[in-house]
Structure 1
Amino acid sequence: MTSFSPVKIFPLLLPAAFLLILGIVWLPGRLELLDNAYLHSFKASFIGILLEALPFVLAGALLSSLLRVFVPDEMISRWIPRRPVPAILFACLLGVLFPVCECGMIPLVRRLIHKGMPVYVAIVFILSGPILNPVVYGATITAFRTHPELAYARMGLAFAVAFIIGLIVYFTNTKSPLRLSARQENGVDHHQSARGGKAAAVFVHTSDEFFEMGKYLIIGCLLTSGIQTFMVQDSLAAIGGKPLGSYFFMMGLAFLLSLCSTSDAFVASTFLHAFPAGSLLAFMVLGPMLDFKNALMLLSLFKTRFALFLFFLIFSTVFIGSVWMSGWL
């Protein structure tokens, strides 16, 4: 008989608290939001976000399964440089070779760690991969045709944040932060391969990874679509006029909206005339690194203490970097 662990329900506490507060405090005074028009908008937003993210989750799960079945452990270890700085630079360039959205990054990285990738290198890949790739650069330069410097600044800040956090994790992390060890996760691999061969094992592992990440994705999509539907926008101009307030607002918005890294630049461009450029930069860098969906996925991959430490590093480094770079924008 398995023992109950509060850690298993931790990812559900935030959405549960949000829905409870919404039902008790906010919703009774705004019953008009339950009209068909709002519900239709909520449904359309939820389906749109979910359909946008699902292909990337599936792609990440498939890549993870192919690595698990066909790539020997020693091959991954052999590719990665031994010294931290070259290894971090190598991880930053992986996004060009594997342009996976943040939605599909976690299952892929979990498999890379179990194949021998150091944790600090994997975290750099998680942070830089969704931004430092040609697809996202093209989308950003298209969204900011009249301000291409924002596209260059996005790439530069993403690289700097990933590099700094990679070094911090390298020097501070001494134990494995993973929830499951490679032996626990791979315990059924040989049995499944013997039953159906490698092709069958790929499909089995892909479905397991997909449904494991999918439950966190759905929770994130529900909250994100609710915020997009019911958020009041009357005070945006007032918030944009406050120097620090605009940064915190845009970073919080990036976390809650959970947009894909290939589309968030187009959302940021709509705030161009109301918010300072530095806050838009913070929005475009923080979102792919830490939004509601991948925060839940990171909590499923790493132990809670390490994940919270990582969240703090991401938020503080992006904030400081975007404020510092705002002087050149």
Structure 2
Amino acid sequence: MQQKLLLRLGIPTLAAGCLMMAALILTSGSLPGALLRLTEPANLQSFKILFISIILEAFPFILLGVIFSALLQAFVTDETIKKWTPKNPVAGVLFGGLLGIAFPLCECGMIPVVRRLIAKGMPAYIGIVYLLAGPIVNPVVFASTYSAFRLSPGIAYSRMAVAFTVAVIIGLILSKWMKKSPLKHNESLVAHSPGHPGSRTRHIHEENGAGSSRSHVHSVQTAAKGRWRSKLTSVLSHSSDEFFEMGKYLIFGALLTAIIQTAVDRSALALFSDQPILSYMFMMGFAFILSICSTSDAFIAASFSSLFQPGPLISFLVFGAMIDFKNTLMLLTTFKLKIVLLLIALTSVLTMAAAAIAEAFI
């Protein structure tokens, strides 16, 4: 019942923000007219620059994420993940919320890492907390936000606090009812399948260990080299597979994002800036569609500080880094649809409420 209520509140909130964005695109003419403007030389050049910049901006983070994910798969055992993960739900949620400080990854590279952690035995709710908080609660993003809002440093601190609070609350909610894996595919079985490189290595090791005592040392050395070769092969294989899996959705998301950014008349943003509730919904929908990396979105938000109050700016900075268009496409390849919708709903409602509260203290 509570899940249905959240879906009824959160999904319409985001949908309303996106619809306002669509209305904004149409303020200066019809949709065909807006699309026709994209063919103008200046706008077409802007579209090319935006599209390429989004790809180049996200590329290193996705590459870092898939490599880190592949290293986890090859070198970190399920037992190690379970050993270091707190058993207490509250401690686990706090652990997930602060994990980004040690492993600061952009949202573009978070999904393959979290998918691997969950598949290896980390409780799903802790992985999801890391997925939500990690792109914001880390030193890199704090530094960029503080730099963008030098005249209003309270926004930088509020962004960290709101993101951590929202992620922790979502984690506590999920810890109560999430009993099954939210992943679409159980990858933990892949790591132990007979065809997996690690399984072949163990088989080789067993065969070598069965040799005579005279060649025991040579057999151990050969097996060790074989294990390292197998692990490196596994890292390259997993990295390439996940990179191409995530990359195609990044390109599609970047394409639509560049089109929308080119078509939107930013001067029309003032239509929503004076509306208390609509300004929050609009900025969240704006962040969802723009799909800007969390390491650079603060500079976009700062450019609107003369139009919008701190609350809507914080909602833009928090919601967009947790849930955006390209991120949602990648989430749908990893998690079940019900989980993705619930995450969007929870994040929408909690971000709006927390940002409004934070504004009162700035």
TM-score by length of 2: 0.81
Partner of 1:257: 290
1:178 pairs, out of 173, 178, 183, with 183
The letter for the 2-side match of 1:181 is: N
Matched, 1:128 2:133: yes
- Is 1:113 aligned to residue 118 of structure 2? yes
CA 1:75–1:231 in 2, change beyond 3 Å: closer, same or farther?
A: same
Say whether residues 1:319 and 2:352 are aligned partners.
yes
Q: Which residue of 2 aligns with 1:54?
A: 59
Q: In the alignment, is the contact (CA less than 8 A) between 1:253 and 1:283 conserved in 2?
A: yes
Using the alignment, how far apart are the partners of 1:54 and 1:29 within structure 2? 29
User: Within 2, Cα distance between the matches of 1:176 and 1:82?
Assistant: 17
Give 1:190 deviation, angstroms.
2.8
In 2, Cα distance between equivalents of 1:193 and 1:53? 35
Q: Following the alignment from structure 2 to structure 1, what is the Cα–Cα distance between the partners of residues 31 and 172?
A: 43
Q: Do 2:38 and 2:47's aligned partners in 1 also have CA atoms closer than 8 Å?
A: no
Q: Deviations over 1:182-227 (max 9, x none)?
A: 2554344237965951111111110001011111111110111011
Letter aligned with residue 256 of structure 2: L
Moved more, 257-266 or 194-203: 194-203
Q: Whose Rg is larger? A: 2
| Aligned partner (choices 90, 95, 102) of residue 90 of structure 1 | 95
- Per the alignment, residue 15 of structure 1 pairs with none
For 1:110 and 1:31, how far apart are their aligned partners in 2? Answer: 41
Asked whether the 8 Å contact 1:77–1:117 carries over to 2, the reply is: yes
Cα deviation 1:49-89 (Å, max 9, x = unaligned): 00000110010000000010111110010001110111111
Q: Which has the higher contact order (CA 8 A, sep 6+)?
A: 2
Amino acid corresponding to residue 243 of structure 2 in structure 1: F
Which amino acid counterpart does residue 190 of structure 1 have in structure 2? P
* SS of residue in 2 equivalent to 1:182: coil
- Structure 1 equivalent of residue 279 of structure 2: 246
Q: Is the 8 A contact 1:193 1:201 kept in 2?
A: no
Residue by residue over 1:230-276, the C-alpha shift from the partner in whole angstroms, topping out at 9 and shown as x without a partner, is 11223212211111111111111110111111101111111111101
Q: 2:65–2:113: 8 Å Cα contact kept in structure 1?
A: yes
Percent of residue pairs identical:
49
Matched, 1:210 2:215: no
1:307 maps to 340
For structure 2, which runs of at least 5 residues remain unmatched after alignment? 1-21, 202-225
Task: Decide which moves more: 187-196 or 75-84.
Answer: 187-196
Q: 1:283 to 1:30 in 2, by over 3 A?
A: closer
Cα distance in 1, alignment partners of residues 32 and 200 from structure 2: 52
Gaps of 5+ in 1: 1-17
The number of aligned residues is 309
CA distance, structure 2, for counterparts of residue 74 and residue 160 of structure 1: 29
d(CA) in 2 for partners of 1:115, 1:29:
47
Partner SS, residue 215 of structure 1: helix
CA distance in 1, matches of 2:178, 2:240: 31
Inter-CA distance 43–73: structure 2 relative to 1 (3 Å threshold): same
Q: Closer, same or farther in 2 for the Cα pair 1:29/1:104, shift >3 Å?
A: closer
Question: Match of 2:301, as an amino acid?
Answer: A
State how 1:57-68 maps to structure 2 within 5 Å: 57-68=62-73
Q: Quote the Cα distance in structure 1 between the aligned partners of 2:119 and 2:36.
A: 50
Structure 2 residue identity aligned to 1:303 = K
Asked if 2 retains the 8 angstrom alpha-carbon contact of 1:92 and 1:124, the reply is yes
Residues 37, 263 of structure 2: 8 Å contact kept: no
SS at match of 2:230: helix
TM-score normalised according to structure 1 size: 0.89
Superposed, 1:1-329 pairs within 5 Å as 26-27=31-32, 31-183=36-188, 185-186=190-191, 187=193, 188-190=195-197, 197-329=230-362
Measured in 1, the distance between the counterparts of 2:141 and 2:35 equals: 38
Q: Moved runs in structure 1, 4+ residues, more than 6 A?
A: none
| Cα distance between partner residues in 1 of 2:120 and 2:140 | 27
Alpha-carbon contact 1:192-1:201 (below 8 Å) kept:
no
Are the aligned partners of 2:284 and 2:319 in contact in 1 as well (CA < 8 Å)?
Answer: yes
Structure 2 counterpart of 1:250, one-letter code: M
Q: Secondary structure at the match of 1:328?
A: coil
State how far apart, in whole Å, the 1-side matches of 2:308 and 2:34 are. Answer: 30
In structure 2, do the counterparts of structure 1 residues 309 and 221 end up closer, same or farther at CA, with 3 Å as the change threshold? same
Query: Could you list the per-position Cα deviations for residues 129-179 of structure 1 after superposition, in whole angstroms to 9, with x for gaps in the alignment?
Result: 111111111111111111111111111101100100000111121222110
Letter in 1 for 2:36: L
C-alpha separation in 1, matches of 2:69 and 2:114: 8
